[in-house]
Amino acid sequence: MNPDQAKQCGLTSTITLPHGNLTPEGSVVKSTAIDSTLLDSTGVYRKIGPARVFISEPDAIRAIKERAIQRGDVIVLICAGPMGSGMEEILEVTGALKYLSWGKDVAVITDGRFSGVSTGACIGHIAPEALAGGPVGKVLDGDIIQIIIDCQSLEGSVDLIGEADTPADQRSVELGMRILTERPFRPDLAPRPDLPDDTRLWAALQQAGGGTWGGCVFDADAIVEMLDAGKETLPKK
């Protein structure tokens, strides 16, 4: 259908690429997958909620099943990108939330990829990924995250705006940036222990070529340049 017909049917533009202090190199959200009841009258999704951080998809699924995830939470699933899991699809998390009566009120942000099965905002491909030094690898449980997605202008942001005990009137994107600058990375960041060597090699090579947002492809010139630079640091015999 043409754009006017689509608008009359309540359809929005397809994807938005949010940036922010947690997504300095970008991210992706399927705007049309956000439940329309979560949008304001201008077609904007706004959410502020506490982070619930998981290093693996099974841990996130367990938390959902055990009702450790509550309405309004923001699931932060990290170490799910190329360097962490080979960038597996996190279908189980979004699928589980879809079949909860309040699942649409839970947002998901991840450095992995996801299926179209979602109702609340599911923001993937966060870059840099946690294991590549991305600030999302510094998020702690209870941190306050703000997500804004304009489904009409296709603009959006994903930001840390405060810690768990930060008063609401003191939260801001600038405060979140200061927190991320001063805070060390989580000590539990790690790739999946069963990650195959060929997947680890692929992840290292694509990271040298610009990471996820470089296209997850090999940049032969960049790799050769890095290898040559490494040779210069080796001790001479």
Would you state the structure tokens that stand for residue 211, as one six-digit string?
């990471």
Query: Is the pLDDT higher at 138 or at 9?
Result: 138
- Please tell me the total count of domains within the chain: 2
The predicted model gives 6-24 an average pLDDT of 87
- State yes or no: is 41 an active-site residue: no
pTM for the model stands at 0.86
Tell whether 36 is covered by a domain.
Answer: yes
Quote the CA–CA distance of 190 and 164 in Å, as a whole number.
24
Structural domain includes residue 96 = yes
**Rounded distance, CA 18 to CA 214, Å?**
16
Residues 222, 131 share a domain: no
24: nearest Cα among 204, 190, 180: 180
Mean of the per-residue pLDDT values for the chain? 89
Q: Point out the domain boundary residue: 155, 182, 209.
A: 182
Range of the domain at 122: 3-182
> 229 and 147 in one domain?
no
Same domain? For 207 and 133 the reply is: no
- Choose between 11 and 132: higher pLDDT: 132
Q: Annotated catalytic residue: which of 13, 36, 56, 115? A: 115
Do 112 and 204 lie in one domain? The reply is no
pLDDT for 43-81, tens place per residue?
Answer: 899 999 999 999 999 999 999 999 999 999 999 999 998
Instruction: Tell me, yes or no, whether 111 lies in a domain.
Output: yes
CB contact at 8 A, 87 and 125: no
Q: By the 8 A CB rule, do 112 and 124 touch?
A: yes
Looking at this protein, which amino acid is placed at residue 25? E
Residue pair 27/18 in contact (Cβ under 8 Å)? The answer is yes
187: in domain: no
Same domain, 106 and 37: yes
Higher pLDDT, 10 or 83: 83
pLDDT tens profile 131-190: 999 999 999 999 999 999 998 889 999 999 999 999 999 999 999 999 999 999 999 999
| CATH number where 88 lies | 3.50.30.80
Q: In this structure, are 156 and 46 located in the same domain?
A: yes
Query: For residue 218, what pLDDT is reported?
Result: 72
